[in-house]
Amino acid sequence: MRVDSAQRRTLVTGGAGFLGSHLCELLLAEGHDVLCVDNFSTGARRNVEHLLGHPRFELMSHDVTAPLHVEVDRIYNLACPASPVQYQRDPVQTTKTCVLGALHMLDLAQRERARILQASTSEVYGDPGLHPQPESYWGNVNPVGMRSCYDEGKRCAESLFFDYHRQHRVDIRVARIFNTYGPRMHPQDGRVVSNFIVQALRGEPLTIYGKGLQTRSFCFVDDMVAGLHRFMEAAPGGTGPVNIGNPQEFTVRDLAQLVIELTGSSSKLAFAPLPRDDPVQRRPEVSMAEQMFDWQPHVSLAEGLRRTIAHLDGLLSIDGSPQVAATSG
């Protein structure tokens, strides 16, 4: 295993996705050789096209449900559909990606003696009975619900990571990612931020599920990838799990009103029944991230939304006006 950070070869699975493509950019800026792996089921080649000519960037088409044999020093395991619309489209494949993907990347990390970070999720907390959610909370997850392919798949992946750490001494990091948004979100991914922005830009009613009083915490993508990178490079021994997200809490209705204001839209609010197992509250306790690797988010919701609106507005002008999928999270 190489130890010089300037020569480090880093694998990012799901690297052509929304979050992964931003992480690839950051790693290149930090001097890493980056191997971006994606099967393009939800990722998009256009997210990384601007990196293809970079001398330290390589793009590989591969599905992590199959083993991978490459030489690397760092592994960020981000491969998995992350929005309810995407992961519920093929729930069996979602579970395979979570579990087999984790297993194969851990095997690779063991062989290469590489440090590996798992992109886990706040969904491991389910519909939480404790607020805000600290890492010590075990969660309230429906194991047989519509969201369980993702929720339980990620929980099983965490279990595998810690078993490999205890049994095989694999150097792991487990990050629990809370709601993240920003440029390169897909307009049809069904997440609440992209839903609202697309609807506002089209002048359509913004669809709110339930009364819109459920809360979310929104972390801008630049802050998120900075947190993941800091966690990965923190001193050995800090396995986590660690929450990474913005602790500022907003109701879904507050978010809708802010999107309307920032887009200058004439859109109104429309209300629909709340989907099953939709969390009522979601807010991270982030003191562990602050203490372990001196991280906290800096981009305000208004500033992050302005940058996301500009991106989605550009996509809509090119691709037309897509139908918006239904989800509230």
CA 154 to CA 122: how far, in whole Å?
10
Strand order in the sheet with 9-13: 57-61, 33-38, 9-13, 74-77, 115-121, 172-177, 242-244
Q: Is the pLDDT of residue 59 over 70?
A: yes
- Angle ∠(295,298,304) on CA atoms, nearest 5: 135
User: What fold, for 181-217+247-282+298-319?
Assistant: UDP-galactose 4-epimerase; domain 1 (3.90.25)
Q: Which residue has the tokens 């990347």?
A: 105
Taking the model in full, what pTM does it have? 0.92
Q: Helix or strand or coil: residue 205?
A: coil
CATH architecture for residues 5-178+221-244:
3-Layer(aba) Sandwich (3.40)
Q: Model confidence at 237, in pLDDT bands (50, 70, 90)?
A: confident
Q: Quote the pLDDT of residue 223.
A: 98
Between helix 192-201 and helix 252-263 the angle, nearest 10°, is 40
Segment 261-297, tens digit of pLDDT: 999 999 999 999 988 777 888 899 999 999 999 999 9
Q: Quote the pLDDT of residue 308.
A: 98
Retrieve residue 297's tokens: 């988010």
Which string of b and e fits 243-268 if b means at least 16 CB within 10 Å?
Answer: bbbbbebbebbebbeebbebbebebe
CA 37 to CA 259: how far, in whole Å?
34
Average pLDDT over residues 23-38: 98
Q: Is the pLDDT of residue 138 over 50?
A: yes
CA 37 to CA 40: how far, in whole Å?
9
Domain positions in the chain are 5-178+221-244, 181-217+247-282+298-319
Segment 170-192, tens digit of pLDDT: 999 999 999 999 999 988 888 99
* Strand ranges inside the chain, DSSP E: 9-13, 33-38, 57-61, 74-77, 115-121, 172-177, 180-181, 206-209, 215-216, 219-220, 242-244, 250-251, 269-272
150 is a catalytic site residue: yes
**Which of 87, 150, 164, 181 is flagged as catalytic?**
150
Q: What letter would DSSP give residue 215?
A: E
What are the residue ranges of helices labelled H in 62-129? 84-89, 91-112
